[in-house]
Amino acid sequence: MIDRIKNIIIVTGSDFSPGRAFYISKALELLGFESKVLTHEPIYQDKESMFEKINLRKGKVLKVKIPFARALYSSIVGRLAVYTVFSLLAFIKLLKFLNNVNVVYSRGPHPFTDFVSVLVKDFRKGIKVVSDITDLWPESLTFMSENLFSKILQLIGICLNRVVYKRCDYIIVHNRYFKEYVWRIYLKGRIRRNRILVIPHVVDTKEFIPLTKQEAVNHLRKYLDDYLVHQILTKVVVGYSGLISNTIGSDILLKMFKLFEDDNRIFFLIIGEGPLKQELINFVKQNNIKNVVFAGPFPHKLMKYVINLFDIAIITSYHKKIITPSIYWFPKKFVEYAACGKPIIFIGLSKFIREKIQKYEAGMTIYPFKINDINDQINEIIQHYSEFSTNSREMATKEFDYFEALRIFQEILK
């Protein structure tokens, strides 16, 4: 059976880059499958730099264009419009490949791409659908708004998920807590439990490796001015990269900036884009904080160097109240930080991240309401930096290595 399944299309939305989708595509190619990534131009990153020199052969990325996507993305209605348009255009593209596709791999946004993926099954029998759920929608709407409109959308989305997910042949999630939630809320009695599989976020630990800050600076020299290079090489760099938004708790950085504004040891390097970025920039200017610099975003091919500019990596998550998505949250940056041997400070509620950091002693975890204690956490890491760094790298190689996903894909596709 496995020899007959050769052509797979991965359908995925993209805020910055379809990173997990590219790792999945590379894994499938190692198993002998032909795969294409169907996506749109990234919301928060330059469209040209996003796709240049990507580690997939020419023709492996199918792009659709969504006009005004970035402007629309700041509101719930705007996001729904972007998701709907992308799903419609993806469906049209899928129909063109109908006779040459055996598996449609839906990476979200959910349940939009899941809906069009299972719809394709009605046009040609024999197509299999795999849904890879790493962002919990519609529950995550709570991050954006808790008004009546948002709650109604969540109820509608939950109903749609229950209909759509039972028509998927396999469900993939990224941690065991998430698996239990998806089974209990959406799938109990609808598909066999053994068709819900766990594939963590993975990283190529031969590509993302620990480098000295000087080595990283050498690779990025044309992107960094002399002042920034001096700060990176002479200070303890506390780095943050990715989406800058209230929805993932980036606002906690405001408190951190204030706590360390007079600490000459610490330098904050903030990499990324998002709706909260300008507010953070304004805060730094208004308070005349000297030890914070904003840069990027950088294309994904450079992130293995950017992360190595950091001494300590920060991950935040939604913290205004305990809700389901914040408990099961697992961002991809976590595995990339670890692969580069960065001690991680996690400020949030996720059971999975707290468990892994504590198991490997790969950094520190802190609850958002105890943010004033973070100075002690940073001091502890600085004093025992080598051990934390080694442990973080070990966590990546044991838990998130890219090649570990191959075994599970073989199981699914045979």
Q: Among 111-120, 190-199, 332-341, 400-409, which is the least confidently predicted range?
A: 400-409
Q: What superfamily in CATH does domain 213-399 come from? A: Glycogen Phosphorylase B; (3.40.50.2000)
Residues 171, 133 contacting (CB under 8 angstroms) = yes
The rounded distance, in Å, linking the Cα atoms of 140 and 247 is 8
3-class secondary structure, 40 = strand
The rounded distance, in Å, linking the Cα atoms of 31 and 15 is 28
pLDDT in tens, 256-293: 999 999 999 999 999 988 889 999 999 999 999 999 99
When pLDDT is cut at 50, 70 and 90, the band that residue 135 belongs to is confident
Average pLDDT, the chain: 86
The rounded distance, in Å, linking the Cα atoms of 371 and 256 is 8
- Looking at per-residue pLDDT, the higher value among 413 and 157 belongs to 157
Instruction: Considering only the C-alpha atoms of the chain, give the largest distance between any 2 of them, rounded to a whole number of Å.
Output: 65
User: For the whole model, what pTM was predicted?
Assistant: 0.84
- Please list, in sequence order, all residues whose beta carbon lies within 8 angstroms of the beta carbon of residue 353, skipping any fewer than 6 positions away: 315, 317, 329, 330, 334, 346, 365
CB atoms within 10 A of CB 29: 16
- Please list, in sequence order, all residues whose beta carbon lies within 8 angstroms of the beta carbon of residue 261, skipping any fewer than 6 positions away: 287, 289, 290, 291
CB atoms within 10 A of CB 242: 24
The dihedral through the CA atoms of 19, 6, 414, 123 has a sign that is: positive
| H helical segments located in 243-373 | 252-259, 277-286, 303-306, 324-328, 333-339, 351-360
Query: What residue ranges do the domains of the chain occupy?
Result: 2-199, 213-399
What is the structure's pLDDT at 406? 76
What is the structure's pLDDT at 58? 46
The rounded distance, in Å, linking the Cα atoms of 383 and 372 is 19
When pLDDT is cut at 50, 70 and 90, the band that residue 37 belongs to is confident
Phi, psi of 19 (to 5 degrees): -60, -50
Task: Judge whether residue 56 has pLDDT over 70.
Answer: no
Residues 268, 292 contacting (CB under 8 angstroms) = yes
What is the structure's pLDDT at 52? 41
What is the structure's pLDDT at 1? 38
What is the structure's pLDDT at 395? 96
Residue type present at position 209: I
pLDDT in tens, 362-382: 999 999 889 999 999 999 999
The rounded distance, in Å, linking the Cα atoms of 92 and 99 is 13
Pick the CATH number of 2-199 from 3.40.640.10, 3.40.50.300, 3.30.70.20, 3.40.50.2000: 3.40.50.2000
What is the structure's pLDDT at 48? 43
The position carrying tokens 């109990």 is 188
| H helical segments located in 145-225 | 148-165, 176-182, 213-220
Domains 2-199 and 213-399 share a fold: yes
Strands (E) across 217-349 are located at 236-243, 266-273, 292-295, 312-316, 344-347
As a whole number of Å, the CA-based R_g of the chain is 21
- Cα first-last separation, the chain: 6
